[in-house]
Every structure is written in C-alpha cells, then in structure tokens.
C-alpha cells in the first residue's frame, strides 16, 4: 500500500509498545509527583487515561481462576466476527481498528485501577495485572475493509490471560465504530457524490460523538461538526448556524432575520451558509441574497418537505442570480431520505441522529470467541450460537473487473484455497507483533480509500438499501 498522509493522529507513533510505559521505577517516580486528583484518571505515561477498567468484571475473575490452576498460560487464539449483518444489510464496514490500537497501548493497570479490583481479586492476580503488558500478536482486516457474516475480522493470539482481559475493550470499539461506519457507507452511497456533513454529536454520548465523526469520515463523509473529532482525528470541521441565532436578533419589535444574516456574513464572510427556515423560507432566501449578495455560499433548510423546498429554493436562488449558492439540507435524514432526494437540487446533506444511531443498527453484534487452545480447535456446541474452532484466515475472490464474488474462510494452518479463475486477496494483515503495533498499520486516510474502493467492488445487488442477503457468500473451507 502506498504511503499516504496520516490523518489519524492515533497512529502517528511508529512501532510503539502497546503500553508506552517505562520501567517500574520510572512509573513509581512519576506517580509520586502527581496530585491525588490526577491519579484518579491519568495513569499512563503520556498523561492520557488508562483503558484497563473498560472491562467486564468476569474477565478478571476468570483470569484469577486460570492463574490459580495454571491454565492461564495456555496459548490461545481469540477471533472477532459477526454471526450476521444487522437488519438484512448487504455488507459491514470494519471500523475502529486505529482507535483500538491506541486504546490497547493504554491498557495498563495503575494504582487507581488496582484499587478498584483488589477487593474481589487475590493478591497474586492483582500483582499480575500490575505488571500486565500485552505481548501477543494481533492480525486483522484493514480498517475500512468490508466484511460479511463469519469474516474473522480480528485474530488475537497470546496466553489465555493476556487475551481474555481484552475482550470488552476490543468489542466495544469495533462494535460501535463498525455500526456507525456501515450506516455511513450506505448514506454515502445513496448521496452519490454529494457533500456529506456529520452533525450528530448531540444525539449520542458526548465521548462517543468524536468516534462517530471518525467512522463517518472513514466511510466517506466529508466533514464533521464535532470539534473534538477535528482535534483528535484531523477531520475537516464544518458548521452553519442555528435558529437560536436568528431568534436572538428578533423580539418584541419584530423578526429581524436580516440583522442576524448581516451579522453572520460580517463575521464569517459571504461564503457562509445561512439558515433560512426560522420564519418563512421564501422570505428567508430573499433576505439572505439581499444581505450577502449573489456570492452567498449556501442556504440551509432544516424542516419541511426537503424535496419540494429544495426545488423551490433552487429556482428562487437562480432567479436572484445566486446560481452558485449551495443548498444544504438537514433534519432527520437517513439513507432512504437521502436516496429519495437524489433527483432534487441538493448540494450538501447534514446528517445527525440516524448516523450516530447506526440507522437502526447501533451496534454491529460482533463477538470475541476462543477458537484454539495450545494448537487444538475448540468450540461451544450447546445451541444455535455455535462457533467454528481453529485459527482462521480469509481471502476474498474477485473477477478481473474487480467485482467481488465470494469470501473464503480457511484454517490458518492449511494452504490457501484454490481461487480458480478469480483473483484472491488475503484479508488479514499483521497489526501487532509481540505486543508492538506494526509500523505501517493502515491510517484513517487509507481506510477511507479502502471503503470507497470496497463499495465499488460490490456486485450490483450489494448497494441496494433494502433488506436482503449479504452481497457475497462466505464459504468455510476445512
């Protein structure tokens, strides 16, 4: 993969051990210099929060039992996969890998974390966790890769002890980000090249919001309203104006929309986007052009029948000579509403709620399953929730046109399957070796390219928004 500009600041440090901690003595020293309030939340050497408690309690009690009986040191493979795609989706999008590798670096237990777990764990387990650094290997699908039911998206290998404690963190990051990215990709493909702004922060947890911006950008959105995402991930920021700003300039003596528009243009220039639907849209558009001139950057419509209004506003703008003024629409847009506006003169979609709730599928349903112990495949078998034992690899087959036709999951110990007349591409790449993140793990920018490429590679049926079968079948070779 060619070298690209790295937008993802979570991936700027080359080949850092997961826990960027120095020796124990160094740790002790820096801790002593910290105030008690700081110790509560800041436990890694770079001043960022430890991720070690983003964990379910049972992982640590299983660890305690396994350390006590000696089984903790057995060599294991855990795999992440989704049994199915939600709501009859045709494809999934792997997202969160960059964030996950960053979070794994911070998965270390400082005194503050140990104080929480000491009450229910024996001292030797607490000591083990104090020393904990992941030293195993992780392979995974590239961030931005499409996936299908059964795709072995992540393969984590190491001792049982060091793999079992990562379950919740790995699943939280991948399930969240992949759910958002899958919804975003459907919206991007429905928008057919028009500009997309993510503006859903207010409809999700405040700290999930930047991750939503990131997943949307990965899937092809152009910008975000969220400033934390601008800082953390280098995503372009964007914004318009709210009804409150127009209302602020009105009052008992009437509706002074022009005053609000004049103020905004004075502060932000004529390239700004004016919100025209506070009182009356036709009057709002006329006032906007009157104030800003025909060079006005854009107008936003946030309510009403967006298709009808977009046409009407386009005609009005054109008649006023504002032929290059963009029309931004927002307000409960999802992929279906976006597709329904395809024939209308819309320039920019602002998408909020439906994006951050995964458009009906807020979580990707991935699981983290133990598939191999000391070289022996293992699998539970009590119910429909069966899983396939053994460490796996996967290839995706494509025609020479680039259209994909099948995914084959096969035992990692065996030979790669015969691709026949198709081209086969290996899907798992090394992400972590002996606890260190691989130097050239893909960046957010390259992941964005990969999603765009992936959508083009789907068979025609794969881009349908309606519910149905996955775009390609997954075959399990043995």
Site residues for its own copies, window 319-378 (CB under 8 A)? 353, 356-357, 362-363, 365, 368-370, 373-374, 376, 378
Instruction: Give the position of tokens 């003595």.
Output: 25
Output the smallest distance, CB 413 to its own copies, in A.
14
Output the smallest distance, CB 288 to its own copies, in A.
14
Residue 365 or 417 having the CB closest to its own copies: 365
Cα gap 80→89, rounded to integer Å: 19
Query: If we measure between CA atoms, which residue out of 143, 81, 62 comes closest to residue 448?
Result: 143
Residue 353 or 474 having the CB closest to its own copies: 353
Residues whose CB is less than 8 angstroms from the CB of residue 33 and which lie 6 or more positions away in sequence, other chains included? none
Distance of CA 309 to the CA centre of its chain: 33
HSE of 381, CA atoms in CB hemisphere, 13 A: 5
Tell which one of 10, 97, 108, 112 touches its own copies (CB under 8 A). Answer: 112
Cα gap 21→230, rounded to integer Å: 27
Task: Please give the full DSSP string across 347-402, using - where no structure is assigned.
Answer: -EEEE-HHHHTGGG--S--EEEEEEEETTEE----SSTT----S-EEEEEEE-TTS
Residue 173 or 444 having the CB closest to its own copies: 173
Beta bridge partners of 158: 76
Query: If we measure between CA atoms, which residue out of 207, 151, 157, 206 comes closest to residue 182?
Result: 151
Beta bridge partners of 409: 394, 476
User: Is 385 an interacting residue with respect to its own copies (CB under 8 A)?
Assistant: yes
Residue 221 or 368 having the CB closest to its own copies: 368
Please report, as residue ranges, which positions from 403 to 462 form the binding site for its own copies (by CB under 8 A): none
**Binding-site size, its own copies (CB under 8 A):** 119
Cα gap 423→278, rounded to integer Å: 55
User: Is 75 an interacting residue with respect to its own copies (CB under 8 A)?
Assistant: no
Tell which one of 16, 135, 303, 475 touches its own copies (CB under 8 A). Answer: 303
**231 three-state secondary structure:** helix
Output the smallest distance, CB 197 to its own copies, in A.
10
Tell which one of 117, 183, 190, 431 touches its own copies (CB under 8 A). Answer: 117
Output the smallest distance, CB 232 to its own copies, in A.
9
Torsional sign, CA 99, 63, 139, 441: positive
Output the smallest distance, CB 449 to its own copies, in A.
25
Residue 112 or 325 having the CB closest to its own copies: 112
Query: If we measure between CA atoms, which residue out of 107, 189, 95, 209 comes closest to residue 145?
Result: 95
Quick check: 225 and 238 in contact, CB under 8 A? yes
Residue 42 or 339 having the CB closest to its own copies: 42
Residue 272 or 325 having the CB closest to its own copies: 272
User: Is 173 an interacting residue with respect to its own copies (CB under 8 A)?
Assistant: yes
User: Is 201 an interacting residue with respect to its own copies (CB under 8 A)?
Assistant: yes
User: What Rg, from alpha-carbon coordinates, does the chain have?
Assistant: 25
User: Is 40 an interacting residue with respect to its own copies (CB under 8 A)?
Assistant: yes
Please report, as residue ranges, which positions from 216 to 255 form the binding site for its own copies (by CB under 8 A): 225-228, 230-231, 237-252
Residue 24 or 202 having the CB closest to its own copies: 202
HSE of 466, CA atoms in CB hemisphere, 13 A: 3
Query: If we measure between CA atoms, which residue out of 34, 257, 73, 70 comes closest to residue 163?
Result: 73
Tell which one of 384, 401, 421, 478 touches its own copies (CB under 8 A). Answer: 384
Tell which one of 16, 17, 31, 71 touches its own copies (CB under 8 A). Answer: 71
User: Is 108 an interacting residue with respect to its own copies (CB under 8 A)?
Assistant: no
Output the smallest distance, CB 458 to its own copies, in A.
27
Residue 17 or 417 having the CB closest to its own copies: 17
Q: In what order do the strands lie in the sheet with 348-351?
A: 223-224, 195-198, 348-351, 326-330, 298-301, 273-275
Residues whose CB is less than 8 angstroms from the CB of residue 94 and which lie 6 or more positions away in sequence, other chains included? 140, 141, 142, 143, 144, 145, 146, 147, 153, 174, 178, 181
User: Is 128 an interacting residue with respect to its own copies (CB under 8 A)?
Assistant: no
User: Is 104 an interacting residue with respect to its own copies (CB under 8 A)?
Assistant: no
User: Is 287 an interacting residue with respect to its own copies (CB under 8 A)?
Assistant: no
Please report, as residue ranges, which positions from 45 to 64 form the binding site for its own copies (by CB under 8 A): 46-49, 51, 53-62, 64
Stretch binding its own copies (CB under 8 A), from 169-177, 188-196, 290-298, 424-432:
169-177
Please report, as residue ranges, which positions from 257 to 286 form the binding site for its own copies (by CB under 8 A): 259, 262-264, 266-268, 272, 277-281, 284
Residue 328 or 397 having the CB closest to its own copies: 328
Tell which one of 76, 95, 346, 455 touches its own copies (CB under 8 A). Answer: 76
User: Is 199 an interacting residue with respect to its own copies (CB under 8 A)?
Assistant: yes
User: Is 204 an interacting residue with respect to its own copies (CB under 8 A)?
Assistant: yes
């Amino acid at each position: 993969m060619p070298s690209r500009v790295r937008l993802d600041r979570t991936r700027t440090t080359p080949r850092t051990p997961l826990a960027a901690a120095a020796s124990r003595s160094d740790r002790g020293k820096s801790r002593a210099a910290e105030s008690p309030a700081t110790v509560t939340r800041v436990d890694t050497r770079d001043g960022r929060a430890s991720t070690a408690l983003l964990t379910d309690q049972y992982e640590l009690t299983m660890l305690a039992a396994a350390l006590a009986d000696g089984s903790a040191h057995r060599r294991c493979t855990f795999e992440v996969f989704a049994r199915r795609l939600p709501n009859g989706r045709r494809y999934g999008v792997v997202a969160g890998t960059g964030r996950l590798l960053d979070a794994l670096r911070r998965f270390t237990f400082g005194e503050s974390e140990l104080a929480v777990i000491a009450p229910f764990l024996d001292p030797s387990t607490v000591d083990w966790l104090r020393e904990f650094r992941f030293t195993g290997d992780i392979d995974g699908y590239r961030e931005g890769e499409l996936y299908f039911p059964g795709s072995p998206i992540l393969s984590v290998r190491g001792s049982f002890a060091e793999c079992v404690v990562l379950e919740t963190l790995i699943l939280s990051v991948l399930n969240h980000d992949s759910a958002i990215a899958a919804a975003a990709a459907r919206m991007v493909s429905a928008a057919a090249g028009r500009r997309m702004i993510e503006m859903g922060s207010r409809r999700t947890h405040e700290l999930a919001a930047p991750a939503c911006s990131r997943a949307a950008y990965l899937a092809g959105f152009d910008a975000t309203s969220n400033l934390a995402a601008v800082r953390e991930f280098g995503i372009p920021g964007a914004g318009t104006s709210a009804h409150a700003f127009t209302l602020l300039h009105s009052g008992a003596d009437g509706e002074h929309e022009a005053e609000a528009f004049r103020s905004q243009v004075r502060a932000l220039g004529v390239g700004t986007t004016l919100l025209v639907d506070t009182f009356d849209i036709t009057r709002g558009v006329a006032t906007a052009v009157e104030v800003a001139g025909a060079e006005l950057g854009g107008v936003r419509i946030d309510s009403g029948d967006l298709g009808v209004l977009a046409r009407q506003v386009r005609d009005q703008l054109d008649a006023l000579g504002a032929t290059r003024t963009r029309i931004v629409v927002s307000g409960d847009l999802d992929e279906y509403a976006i597709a329904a506006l395809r024939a209308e003169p819309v320039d920019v979609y602002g998408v909020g709620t439906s994006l951050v709730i995964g458009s009906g599928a807020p979580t990707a349903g991935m699981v983290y399953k133990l598939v191999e112990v000391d070289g022996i495949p293992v699998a539970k078998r009590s119910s429909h929730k069966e899983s396939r034992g053994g460490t796996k690899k996967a290839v995706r087959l494509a025609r020479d046109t680039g259209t994909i036709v099948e995914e084959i999951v096969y035992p990692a110990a065996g030979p790669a399957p015969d691709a026949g007349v198709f081209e086969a591409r290996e899907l798992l790449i090394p992400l972590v070796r002996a606890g260190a993140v691989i130097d050239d793990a893909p960046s957010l920018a390259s992941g964005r390219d990969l999603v765009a490429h992936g959508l083009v590679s789907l068979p025609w049926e794969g881009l349908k928004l309606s519910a149905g079968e996955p775009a390609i079948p997954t075959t399990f070779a043995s």
